[in-house]
Amino acid sequence: MELLCTDGLDILLENSRDYRTLDYLVSTCGLSRVQRARASLPGRTRPYVSNIAKALGVKIPDAVVITPREDGRRELAAIKQLLAEKLVVGSSAKRL
């Protein structure tokens, strides 16, 4: 989990979808409105991008939410690589 602290924003960004959503909010609503929405979150509400979108009354389009095919393929390839490395490490540890 990452906390974005640029331009007066303290927003929790956990993945590429959150970054795309924040970009969409800033491009459609403007940075100052996003900053005001962040500042107006009530009480102990966590500053997730989805909460800021709710505060702004904005519905995020599917085109923004759905991971682009190339990004998905890249993420799957990275997961496969990690699993393959764990299998190799696990099998060599058993031989010792």
Q: What is the 3-state secondary structure (H, E, C) of the chain?
A: CEEECHHHCCEEECCHHHHHHHHHHHHHHCHHHHHHHHHCCCCCCCCEHHHHHHHHCCCCCHHHHCCCHHHHHHHHHHHHHHHHHHHHHHHHHHHC
pTM: 0.71
pLDDT reported for residue 26: 94
Per-residue pLDDT reduced to its tens digit, 86-95: 887 766 666 6
CB 52 within 8 A of CB 37: yes
The gap from C-alpha 67 to its chain's centroid, in whole angstroms, comes to: 11
Per-residue pLDDT reduced to its tens digit, 17-62: 999 999 999 999 999 999 999 999 998 999 999 999 999 999 999 9
pLDDT reported for residue 72: 87
Cα dist. 45→1, 15, 52 in Å?
16, 19, 10
Domain extents in the chain: 1-65, 67-96
